[in-house]
Amino acid sequence: IDKAKETESHHYVGVGKVIYALGSLTLADLHGMVPYDEAFNADIMNPKYDDGSLVYEKSLALLDEAILDLQKAQGPAAISLTLGDNLFQGDVSKWIKFAYGIKARHLNHLSKTTDYNADAVLDALSKAAQTNAESAIYAYEDELTSGNVATRSLQYQNNSATRTTKLYVDYLTNNYT
């Protein structure tokens, strides 16, 4: 994000913020409290853990910033998003829809809380991807048929280092006591 700001590559700034917000929101969903405010400060070896509600608040605001950055005109020295975008091949409108989809999903995670706003969820959802062609689908590439060993789709890898436990299921089903 910082490097993209130097060249006024606003689209990269926006994409970076979308990815950062998605990661933070996912961590907050999984762990509740996670480092956020002090997370990437090199001077702090043990960052404080922030409450999930703060992470949600700041990450949802970051998504709004990302959408604004993605709508900005690129600066004269900007690097084209098409050069580094493997997900949407530089299509900024799809990144904006992706950001709104993340926002809708995570606003909906606030159901059963006083912060839930169904209208905000529906508004974000109306601006999100509406078709498969607009969705964030990364096509699987089989290295055996393509010969490309470097390209593997994350969605088809065995990334699970943990097993689903009763505690985790209780969290998900709201049965934790």
- Contact (Cβ atoms closer than 8 angstroms) between residue 104 and residue 128: yes
23: left (phi over 0), alpha (psi -120 to 50) or beta: alpha
The rounded distance, in Å, linking the Cα atoms of 121 and 107 is 6
* Rounded-to-integer distance, Cα 96 and Cα 98, Å: 5
User: Amino acid letter at 28?
Assistant: A
Q: What is the pLDDT of residues 112-140, one digit of tens each?
A: 999 999 999 999 999 999 988 888 876 65
Q: How far apart are CA 177 and CA 171, in angstroms?
A: 9
Asked whether 171 and 109 are in contact (CB, 8 A), the reply is no
Which pLDDT does position 158 carry in this prediction?
A: 46
Tell which wins on pLDDT, 16 or 149.
16
User: Taking the model in full, what pTM does it have?
Assistant: 0.78
